[in-house]
Amino acid sequence: MLVRQILSAKPEQKVLAVAPQTPVSEAVRILAEKRIGALVVSSDGRRAEGILSERDIVRELALRGAEILSQPVSDLMTRKLVTCTPADSAHHVVEKMTAGRFRHMPVLEEGEMIGLISIGDVVKGRLDELTMETNALADMIRGH
């Protein structure tokens, strides 16, 4: 399974991004409202400059307290992005996520964001693929 197949199966195709100067409190509101785990940080909505995850926020809350809520997301975001392309395999993406201990990965095509996939998206894609394979094998056994 390829990343492009995972993206096409997602109900929401739009990448939610916030500007680097967005207050962390606003990012928290968006994460809660949309029930998502990460936001891409981008000045222009096309090029990813960083990513802000729930883990980033919780880690800094524990270290510095509620004062972080008024700071810009650029102060908390992960700057060293690990990305993938639509042509990458799901297996390759899972390996990167597991090795790096993160759950969200921007998908770039020619340097521009075209999507964001989570470990949950990859697992769902793999489960769907396994279900199709199982059904095809069962049909072959039955002679269909």
For each of the domains in the chain, give its residue range(s) and CATH number, in order of start.
3-142 (3.10.580.10)
Residue 59's H or E segment, with its range, is: helix 54-64
Predicted local distance difference test score (pLDDT) of residue 109: 92
Is residue 88 within 8 Å of 3, Cβ to Cβ?
yes
Per-residue pLDDT of the chain (144 residues), as tens digits, is: 899 999 988 877 788 899 999 999 999 999 999 999 999 999 998 899 999 999 999 999 999 999 999 999 999 999 999 999 999 999 899 999 999 999 999 999 998 999 999 998 998 888 888 888 888 888 888 887
Predicted local distance difference test score (pLDDT) of residue 12: 73
pTM above 0.85, yes or no: no
Using DSSP, state whether 5 is helix, strand or coil: helix
Q: Determine the distance from the C-alpha atom of residue 60 to the mean position of all C-alpha atoms in its chain, rounded to a whole number.
A: 20
Strand 112-118 versus strand 104-109 pairing type: antiparallel
Helix axes 54-64, 24-34, angle to 10 degrees: 140
Predicted local distance difference test score (pLDDT) of residue 15: 86
Residue 60, classified by CB atoms within 10 Å of its CB into exposed (0-12), middle (13-18) or buried (19+), is middle
Phi, psi of 16 (to 5 degrees): -85, 125
Q: In whole angstroms, give the CA distance from residue 29 to residue 42.
A: 17
Phi, psi of 48 (to 5 degrees): -80, 125
Predicted local distance difference test score (pLDDT) of residue 70: 96
Is residue 88 within 8 Å of 115, Cβ to Cβ?
no
